[in-house]
Amino acid sequence: MIKHLRIDNRLIHGQVAVTWMNSIGADKIIVCNDKVAADPIQKMALPMAARGNTVYVFTIEETINYAKEHPEETMFVIAKFPSDALAILESGVEVQDVNVGNAAPIQGTKYKMVTKSIAVTEDDAKCYRKIAELRGGVLTSRLTTMNETENFLDLLAKNGL
């Protein structure tokens, strides 16, 4: 089962490798993004950033297949973009929690900063709303395990998205 699905375009960093893994109690980290999975340098470097945790770098399809084939495992999935997370949720794979963690601005896009660490475009906002629909109308944001959980749909609305 995917115990925690985090949307964070930084992927694996110290906060994820230590704090989130300890909080979640997952067996492994799966980084989910088609382009990242096709990049041999990232496939080699990301596990090194995980400080001894088991890491797989998968395409969206590989992530879905792995989750379906290993329902007894406790997985922490990090999706690079909301579209990656949406594809996982639309597949019907069981996901316990979904969290919007970080989304650095992407050059050349029209984005709004909805928090100090989350940039959102119109297309992203549509994707986040679809995610919320699949989650019973709920989508949360929490940068670190020490931060308060925020209603992400409220953050979008506050920023005209």
Q: Tell me the pLDDT of the chain (161 aa) as tens digits.
A: 999 999 999 998 877 777 888 899 999 999 999 999 999 999 999 988 887 889 999 999 999 999 999 999 999 999 999 999 999 999 999 999 999 999 999 999 999 999 999 999 999 999 999 999 999 999 999 998 889 999 999 999 999 99
How many Å from the N-terminal Cα to the C-terminal Cα in the chain?
Answer: 31
State the pLDDT at residue 6. Answer: 97
CATH superfamily to which 2-158 belongs: Phosphotransferase system, sorbose subfamily IIB component (3.40.35.10)
Phi, psi of 91 (to 5 degrees): -75, -15
Strands (E) across the chain are located at 2-8, 28-32, 54-58, 75-79, 95-102, 112-115, 118-120, 140-141, 150-151
4 is catalytic: no
Q: Is the dihedral of CA 104, 82, 138, 147 positive or negative?
A: negative
Amino acid at 57: V
Task: Note the pTM of the prediction, 2 decimals.
Answer: 0.95
Choosing from 10, 13, 28, 130, the catalytic residue is 13
